[in-house]
């Protein structure tokens, strides 16, 4: 059954690209079920409608996958209680992560099975808790229930994708990544011009199982002819999947304040809510090419290279001094993936208010990052046409040489000057941070 409740519809309305992917995946699921002699039942109602469908199907148990943002988790518990009061068994399963939150927390039995707030001890437990995907046979049948219409991208202001997502498409993408590119992931994750796995949307919407991905990754690692660097790349990608699960379990165990900083001492830090450069950041016109290239990639594709994400998020929080929730919510309307818990975890990590236990915030210098991650400007050229004609070279194109006039020749667009001076803004933020933390000791 596909349960399209009001909260899900609201999230799909925020991002037409997300809606198009979701609707394409739902259509592919319906076709796959029909190929097995069954049917996808679409429901848009609440507990009474689900109870009615269960009774008609003569089902004694209703099972569904957990979600990890606080609002969805609370809604699921309410639904579970209503169904159980109606005499049905209701079970919520952990389908999204490789390792269920409780399975990792079991290692902390002395602490009452609480979750982990630090990643390093978590990842060690995570590795040991991985289990192979369950093998078995599933029989399908058509119980003859009435179903509502499938959601369409047009219902949410989107358009159907040229290459619709499906389990087969996700498996093909995974196989292609594991066949070669994953062996260079250690380098590719630090080079925005290189593609990474591009599997996040498939993992988000269930066209690919994270457990299947890890099982295939581990099988790839059994190749005796792999080089040492290739094994390090496999382990680096496995660690990224562990971090994904880490943020899921953070949201699962520490959901009381989903919009508050995980670090208590940072809950009242005076991040700004307004800045003259905010619109420039949203539009990819900050005057810092790596930041702007990442934001323009997101606007054009619904995804952004992870290193560009980190630099662009750091710029919002530290150069502009803005609240991390502003950035999270701005990107939520453009990303294809739909993982509020991951978005919150990642933004808090970058902003220095979450699970990252570093003594000081990690403030990225956008110019140094551009010279390190995109030395010939391949990534910047791809996404910033105003800089595409500048000569290649180390650190280029950063911006036109100092003193060069920006003449509007032939009405060509010019690249804007920096909205802030990085060194000055970073020093000012650190001064505020140190002063604030000193008052919380």
- Tens of pLDDT, residue by residue over 360-402, are 898 999 999 999 999 999 999 999 999 998 776 544 455 544 5
- CATH 1.20.1260.10 assigned to 97-133+167-255: no
pLDDT at 397: 54
Q: Any idea what DSSP says for residue 272?
A: B
283-304 average pLDDT score = 97
Confidence of residue 326 (pLDDT cuts 50, 70, 90): very high
- Give the CA dihedral 372, 375, 377, 382, nearest 10 degrees: -60
Higher pLDDT, 208 or 194: 208
Between CA 381 and CA 293 the distance in angstroms is: 8
What is the crossing angle of helices 6-14 and 70-85, to 10°?
160
State percent of the chain over pLDDT 70: 94
Which one-letter DSSP state was computed for residue 415? P
**pLDDT for position 401:** 46
**DSSP secondary structure letters along 313-380:** HHIIIIIS-B-HHHHHHHHHTT-S---HHHHHHHHHHHHTSSS---SS-----HHHHHHHH-TT-HHH
Q: How confident is the model at residue 404 (pLDDT cuts 50, 70, 90)?
A: very low
Q: Which residues contact 52 (CB under 8 A, 6 or more apart)?
A: none
Rounded distance, CA 358 to CA 383, Å? 32
- CB of 287 closer than 8 Å to CB of 417: yes
Helix 16-35, helix 167-179: angle, nearest 10: 110
Q: For residue 148, what pLDDT is reported?
A: 96
Residue 344: pLDDT above 50?
yes
Strand partners, 89: 61
Under DSSP, the state recorded for 57 is: T
The pLDDT of residue 136 is 82
* pLDDT value for 107: 81
> CA 409, CA 389: separation in Å to the nearest integer?
14
Going by pLDDT thresholds of 50, 70 and 90, the confidence category of residue 359 is confident
Nearest to 429 by CA among 328, 329, 345, 314: 314
Sorted by where each begins, the domain ranges of the chain are 97-133+167-255, 264-438
Does this model's pTM top 0.85? My answer is yes
What confidence tens digit (pLDDT) does each residue in 96-143 have?
999 999 999 988 766 666 889 999 999 999 999 999 888 888 888 898
Q: Is the separation of the CB atoms in 198 and 303 below 8 Å?
A: yes
6 vs 39: CA distance, rounded Å: 23
Helix (H, G, I), strand (E, B) or coil at 84: helix
C-alpha distances out from residue 183 to 157, 178, 369, Å: 39, 8, 23
In this structure, are residues 246 and 126 in contact, taking their beta carbons and an 8 Å threshold?
yes
Mean pLDDT of 60-75: 94
For 264-438, CATH number? 1.10.579.10
First vs last Cα of the chain: how many Å apart?
A: 52
pLDDT at 389: 85
Q: Which residues pair with 43 in a beta bridge?
A: 3
Q: b/e per residue, 205-242, with b = 16+ CB within 10 A?
A: bbbbbbbbbbbbbeebeeeeeeeeebeebbeebbeebb
Distance from chain centroid for Cα 189:
15
* Average pLDDT of the residues of the chain: 92
Q: Please say if the pLDDT value at position 412 is more than 80.
A: no
């Amino acid at each position: 059954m596909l349960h399209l409740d009001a909260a899900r519809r609201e999230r799909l309305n925020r991002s037409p690209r997300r809606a198009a992917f979701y609707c394409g995946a739902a259509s592919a699921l319906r076709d796959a079920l029909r190929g097995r002699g069954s049917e996808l039942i679409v429901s848009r109602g609440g507990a009474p409608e689900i109870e009615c469908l269960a009774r008609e199907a003569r089902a004694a148990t209703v099972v569904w996958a957990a979600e990890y943002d606080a609002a969805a988790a609370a809604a699921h518990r309410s639904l579970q209680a209503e169904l159980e009061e109606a005499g049905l068994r209701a079970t919520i399963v952990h389908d999204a992560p490789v390792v269920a939150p409780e399975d990792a927390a079991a290692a902390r039995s002395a602490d009452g099975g609480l979750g982990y707030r630090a990643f390093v001890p978590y990842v060690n437990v995570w590795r040991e808790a991985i289990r192979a995907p369950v093998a078995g046979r599933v029989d399908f049948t058509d119980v003859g229930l009435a179903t509502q219409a499938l959601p369409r991208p047009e219902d949410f202001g989107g358009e159907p994708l040229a290459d619709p997502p499906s389990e087969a498409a996700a498996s093909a993408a995974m196989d292609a990544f594991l066949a070669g590119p994953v062996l260079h992931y250690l380098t590719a994750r630090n080079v925005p011009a290189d593609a990474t796995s591009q599997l996040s949307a498939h993992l988000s919407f269930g066209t690919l199982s994270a457990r299947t991905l890890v099982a295939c990754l581990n099988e790839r690692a059994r190749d005796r002819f792999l080089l040492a660097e290739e094994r390090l790349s496999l382990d680096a990608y496995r660690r990224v999947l562990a971090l994904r699960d880490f943020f899921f379990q953070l949201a699962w165990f520490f959901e009381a304040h989903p919009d508050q900083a995980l670090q208590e001492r940072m809950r009242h830090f005076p991040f700004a809510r307004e800045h003259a450069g905010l619109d420039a950041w949203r539009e990819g016109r900050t005057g810092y090419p790596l930041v702007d290239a990442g934001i323009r990639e997101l606007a054009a594709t619904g995804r952004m290279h992870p290193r560009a994400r980190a630099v662009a998020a750091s710029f919002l929080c530290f150069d502009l001094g803005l609240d991390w929730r502003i950035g999270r919510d701005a990107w939520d309307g453009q990303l294809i993936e739909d993982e509020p818990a991951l978005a919150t975890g990642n933004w808090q990590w970058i902003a220095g208010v979450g699970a990252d236990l570093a003594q000081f915030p990690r403030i990225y210098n956008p110019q140094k990052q551009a010279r390190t991650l995109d030395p010939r400007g391949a990534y910047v050229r791809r996404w910033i046409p105003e800089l595409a004609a500048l000569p290649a070279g180390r650190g280029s194109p950063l911006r036109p040489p100092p003193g060069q006039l920006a003449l509007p020749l032939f009405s060509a667009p010019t690249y804007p000057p920096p909205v802030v001076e990085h060194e000055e803004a970073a020093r000012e933020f650190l001064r505020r941070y140190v002063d604030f933390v000193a008052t919380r000791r």
